[in-house]
Amino acid sequence: SISIIETSAFRNCQSLTNVNVPTSISVIGDSAFANCNLLQSFQFVTSLSSLGQACFRGCSSLVNVNLPSTITVIPADAFYGCSSITSLHLPSTILQIGDRAFAYCSNLDNIYFDRSVQTIGDSVFMGCNAVQAITCLTATPPACTASTFGTIPVNIPVTVMNSCLANYQNTIGWNRFTNYIG
């Protein structure tokens, strides 16, 4: 019958490796699992509708982030410093990604945005130097800032639809990339 994992509920639980999440969970509060350094996996149940700020910040052993289609917003600092995440494929329901949401995910090598993303916050990918490719399927480039993509190399392949190529090349944040593929 538990529906909410409260703010800071498991924060700094240094020995926590796995969580058996009840299917009734709809909300994960701010910093709920922050700094659980050994947390390797987390089952994001389909009843989940809201993530709190910094909910998994500093979970450096967390490998996969498989968010359910019930999530529309990834809040600020949600996965900041989750250095074991290697790939990011967000569900088609994500509309907004908050500031620094994936900053310092230093092993992240592939980013995939579906058609729904509208806004990507400031410094979302700061310190993600291992990124080797970005795919974005939205016709209109998601709004972002000059620092959204942080230190991602500018010459990596960025795949977008042919008809949108010029829009991406002329939009703040996206215009830093030099290797567009239509």
Q: pLDDT digits over 79-108, tens only?
A: 999 999 998 888 899 999 999 999 999 999
pTM: 0.95
Centre a 10 Å sphere on the Cβ of residue 54 and count the other Cβ atoms it contains. 27
116-161 tens-digit pLDDT: 999 999 999 999 999 999 999 999 999 999 999 999 999 999 999 9
| 3-state percent breakdown (helix, strand, coil) of the chain, nearest 5 | 5, 20, 75
Alpha carbon distance 132, 73 (integer Å):
25
Tokens standing for residue 98: 């908050």
DSSP 142: P
Centre a 10 Å sphere on the Cβ of residue 138 and count the other Cβ atoms it contains. 17
The amino acid present at 181, given as its one-letter code, is I
In angstroms, the Cα distances linking 147 to 91, 116, 169 are 23, 21, 16
Is 63 in contact with 38 (CB distance < 8 Å)?
Answer: no
pLDDT above 70 as % of the chain? 100
DSSP 139: S
Q: Please name the residues in contact with 55: beta carbons below 8 A apart, sequence gap of 6 or more.
A: 28, 29, 30, 31, 32, 33, 34, 75, 78
